[in-house]
Structure 1
Amino acid sequence: MKEVDYIIVGCGLASIAFCEELRANKKSFVVFDNNSQKSSLVAAGLYNPVILKRFSAVWKAKEQLAVALPMYAKIEKELNIKIDYKLKIHRRFASIEEQNLWFNAMDKPNIESFLSDKVVKNRNSNIEAPFGFGEVLGAGRIDTDILISSYKQFLKQSGCLYEASFLHKELNSQETLITYQKIKAKHIVFAEGFGVKENPFFKNIPINGTKGEVLTVKAPNLKINFAIKSSVFVIPLDKDLYIVGSTYNWKDKTKSITEEGKNELISKLKNIINCDVEVVEHVAAIRPTVVDRRPVVGTHLDFKNIHILNGLGSRGVMIAPYVAKKLFNSIENNTPLDSEIDVSRFL
């Protein structure tokens, strides 16, 4: 039997953040992942402290960034990779009224430090923005593909990664011990994303799942080094490639790409730019979204060594490190969880 402190199920943003908490506190662990949940594909990796539809602050934005950015910097250094790219976000104004709403929003608590007080004029003939842009400060992009693939390789080299489906029926929970196949652990954390719908311990948690589709397009004439937010995001990569996303579909729970999703994104993109684009990639995934738009964190009411870390929605790169730390402190130090994220609100 292999003995560890924790078993973690899933290897997305939530799991990686929790692994980093365990490593920082010298806890042993193993991770099970079957590569079935890929919601990070459609999140584009942006960390953006402002809800740009309503010009309001993201929930706990300052607190999240204070935990997340040092964690990603630590991973960059230890794994010798580049994943954090500082990136300006320009919110395209559709009217003078939107400009006024932007400046009014600067008086809102917790948001003034994230909004530029100047209208950025459009000087790119390939962009349709007669009313200019508002610039978001303190934003950036985490390359989630490099993060997840590099972290899995790190776990594999460390002997911590089991690339297999987790069989819930083989889990045995006793008062102070978890056993699963040939592994003994003190705790298990389920960070399965939308896959939690198949988890018998948390199957009644209202994680509805929202399908998103994202395009990668090539636009040689666009030439921008900032992200544009309008009816869609346009996010620069390199070699004239841009991420365009994303759609929101609350009914379709498949991971299949659709012509409907592709056409919706292209149509919205053409309202923003007027140069030629070529679609080079089209992906789809299910985001783990919750009805009250808050993560689901905490401990099962009947099994005190079974825990959940889920419901990150479309802002996983910001939320994951923050809630991972909250869960670790709850388990190890009996620190009470905020009621708005505690899984007990649904149990």
Structure 2
Amino acid sequence: MPKYLEYDYVVVGAGIAGCATSYFLSEHSDSVLLVDKNEKVTFGASGAAGAFLSPLLGKDNAFKSLITKSLKFSTQFYKSLKNDLLTNCGVCRIPKNQEDRDKFESYKTSMDFEYEEMGDGYFFPIGSQVNPSDICEYLTKDINTKLNYEINDLKQNEDDNSWIINNEIKAKDIILTTGADTRLIKEKYFNIRAVWGQKIDVSSTSKPNINYHKECSISKAIPYKDDLYKVSLGATHHRFDCDKDICNYCVEVANINSCSRCYKSDMVDADSLKLISLANDIIPIDNVNVLDVKIGARASSLDYFPMVGKLVDSAKSIEAYPHILNGSFIKEENLKMIENLHVINGVGGRGFVLSPYLAKSLVDNIINEKELDSNITTYRLFKRWAKRLKNKKK
């Protein structure tokens, strides 16, 4: 019988979702381990994020309500950690064109946050920004970590539903926060789109004193050296037509910033020039020099809602309720779930807004069995997948 390193909870993935989940779990247990294939926390999508905290504008609906709750929670959460982790300077949201401006006007009756008109745009005092690595390093400063660690084998112990990682680590519960890299999730209904993005830090003689957002985002300037300031510009959007069943290299590689299979150097250069051009369409960014480039694959679901909680075991559920394939409705609580396996995924481009709220919700669900919002559970994905299976059998 092999001797394992044993933990109550192992969180896989050290982006903002994994770091926040580890933090909230550590309030209930001293037996938490955070693992990641990278040598540091906050590589991948979280490291490439602009980490802007900004309201979602639009008519009232379930998705907007989720973003509003998350923004309120996450802003207060970051403030509560340490005074200098959150830069609350406000954001000016600028319509892209007349059609966009008309939409903004129609949204005024549905605004969830204070705002005032500013030039061509609308200024929201709640607009903020965090530094991705600073936040994640702070959240995990007291957490056991195992970095630069690749998981090649994950299997469940049938006796007690615990999980064995690489025949070395045993966990009562596993929480997967691996974003676009879904190798460890075997369920076919769990469908993730990788939306690639690039963020750049530049030096400039310009000194924006608030955040801006139009077709790209501009951060408030911070002193760099001499008469120069550092400004973050983000982010671009790319989808590659890769067949993930043949090659999933780009989301599996540890450091995508050194990968050139899809995100080639000419694309990096073109995206940097594009971001600088888009920024100058908002305010002048003078005497620009690119200091740093970060690239990552944001994980988005097909309906844009995140995915949180346990996974439905599709094979066991269909075996128990074969009439699912005839379109019959089955209550979520009656389905067969994969025990002691949880996920947070599909946070898209709003990871630093959504993740703390989702992590707290998931930990409350695991520890106190507090019910999750039905809009974010994986049940919705399984229902749609089963319906498609039914249609294929016709």
Distance 1:224 1:41, change over 3 A: same
Q: Please, which moves more after superposition, 42-51 or 95-104?
A: 95-104
Distance 1:203 1:173 in 2: 22
Alignment partner of 1:299 out of 283, 292, 310:
310
* 178-187 or 283-292: bigger deviation: 178-187
Post-superposition CA distance 1:271-310 (Å, at most 9, x none): 2334332222222111111111011111123421111111
Select the residue among 36, 39, 45 that pairs with 2:51. Answer: 45
2:271 is matched with which residue? 261
1:346 aligns with 2:384: no
Matched residue, 1:102 = 104
CA distance in 2, matches of 1:95, 1:186: 52
Query: Distance between the aligned counterparts of 1:87 and 1:252, measured in 2?
Result: 38
Query: How many Å apart are 1:133 and its aligned residue?
Result: 2.6
Matched, 1:147 2:135: yes
> Does the Cα contact within 8 Å between 2:128 and 2:211 map onto a contact in 1?
no
In structure 1, the residue matched to 2:175 is 189
8 Å CA contact 2:89–2:220 kept in 1: the answer is no
Distance in 2 (CA, whole Å) between partners of 1:244 and 1:101 is 25
* Matching residue of 1:126: none
Structure 1, gaps ≥5 residues long = 122-131
Q: What residue is the counterpart of 2:316 in the other structure?
A: none
2:151 equivalent in structure 1 = 167
Cα deviation, residue 171, structure 1: 3.1
Cα drift, residue 211 of structure 1: 0.3
Question: What per-residue deviation string (whole Å, max 9, x for no partner) do you get for residues 251-275 of structure 1?
Answer: 2774445223223223323323343
CA separation in 1, counterparts of 2:213 and 2:59? 12
CA 1:272/1:301 → structure 2, altered by over 3 Å: closer, same or farther?
A: closer
Note the C-alpha offset of 1:150. 3.9
Say whether the 8 Å CA contact 2:55–2:113 is kept in structure 1.
no
Partner Cα distance (2:76, 2:44) in 1: 24
Shift of 1:191: 0.8
Q: CA deviation at 1:59?
A: 4.0
Q: How does 1:1-347 map onto structure 2 within 5 Å? A: 1-26=4-29, 28-35=31-38, 37-51=43-57, 58-76=64-82, 82-93=84-95, 101-108=103-110, 111-116=111-116, 119-121=117-119, 132-155=120-143, 160-174=144-158, 175-180=160-165, 181-196=167-182, 198-202=183-187, 204-220=189-205, 222-239=206-223, 240-251=229-240, 254=250, 255=256, 256=263, 258=267, 259-274=269-284, 275-302=286-313, 303-347=338-382
Q: TM-score, normalised by structure 1?
A: 0.82
TM-score (norm 2): 0.73
8 Å contact from structure 1 (residues 55, 102) kept in 2: no
Structure 1 residues 260 and 330: alpha-carbon distance in aligned structure 2, compared to 1, 3 A threshold:
same
The SS at the match of 1:35 is coil
Letter in 2 for 1:327: L
Q: Is the 8 A contact 1:6 1:30 kept in 2?
A: yes
Structure 1 window deviating more from structure 2 (265-274 vs 211-220): it is 265-274
For the residue of structure 2 that corresponds to 1:314, the secondary structure is: helix
The answer to whether the 8 Å contact 2:22/2:140 transfers is no
Question: Is the CA contact 2:203–2:290 (under 8 Å) kept in the aligned structure 1?
Answer: yes
**Residue 162 to residue 211, structure 1, CA distance change in 2 (3 Å):** same
- Per mean C-alpha deviation after superposition, the further-off stretch among 181-190 and 327-336 is 327-336
The percent of aligned pairs where both chains have the same amino acid is 21
Per-residue Cα deviation, 1:54-112 (whole angstroms, up to 9, x for no partner): 687844233213432343234327xxxx311102111235677766653442211xx24
Q: Secondary structure at the match of 1:31?
A: strand
Distance 1:6 1:202, change over 3 A: farther
Residue by residue, what CA displacement relative to the aligned partner does 1:127-152 show, whole Å, maximum 9, x if unpaired?
xxxxx331013121111121223444
